Amino acid sequence: MDITLIIKSIIGLVVILGILMFILLYKPKDKKAKNVKKTVLKSKSMKQKNDTLDLQTLRAIIKSRNSTTKDLEAAVDGVLKNYATIPAKLGIRIHPDFDIYSEMLFMLSKHKSANKNIILKFNRGLEKQNPQYKLEINDAVSRGLNARV
């Protein structure tokens, strides 16, 4: 009687372990990846129509791991063409909107599809439009290049 109870307990624990392993290893499809793919497709169709993309869409393209070199180059061109001017510094402090550009520089610098030409183009374009942020721009690029694997 004691052995059957032990065997049933072991079988129950094995079943529970199997269910927990299934839950742990099951990965549902990532909705963000689908949204980024839609954004990239949308950006390509808008590019053909010569419409401008908003800064958040361009940021999503740069942030996406699935973006190709051409997508990154188009996003950098869009940012430099339409959104390159950062609001002036608040005395010594940087403007809060600079965080968006800093994040884009960081993500672009560590992106696997980004090459030196794209990174330098973005870096120099922002420095040319915003000379007061030169140190912060270089710092963001340096952090991204150091994080690159």
Look at the chain and report how many structural domains it folds into.
1
Q: Kindly state whether residue 44 falls inside one of the protein's structural domains.
A: yes
Q: Return d(Cα 118, Cα 76) in angstroms, integer.
A: 7
Measured between its terminal Cα atoms, the distance across the chain in Å is 59
- The amino acid present at 77, given as its one-letter code, is D
> Cα angle at 84 between 79 and 89, to 5 degrees?
140
Q: Kindly state whether residue 14 falls inside one of the protein's structural domains.
A: no
**Tens-level pLDDT at each residue, the chain (149 residues):** 688 899 999 999 999 999 998 888 887 665 555 566 566 655 555 454 445 678 898 999 999 988 999 999 999 999 999 998 998 888 888 999 999 999 999 999 999 999 999 999 999 999 999 999 999 999 999 999 998 86
Q: What range defines the domain where residue 52 resides?
A: 29-147
Q: Kindly state whether residue 59 falls inside one of the protein's structural domains.
A: yes
86, 101 Cβ separation under 8 angstroms: yes
Q: Kindly state whether residue 69 falls inside one of the protein's structural domains.
A: yes
Strand partners, 93: 90
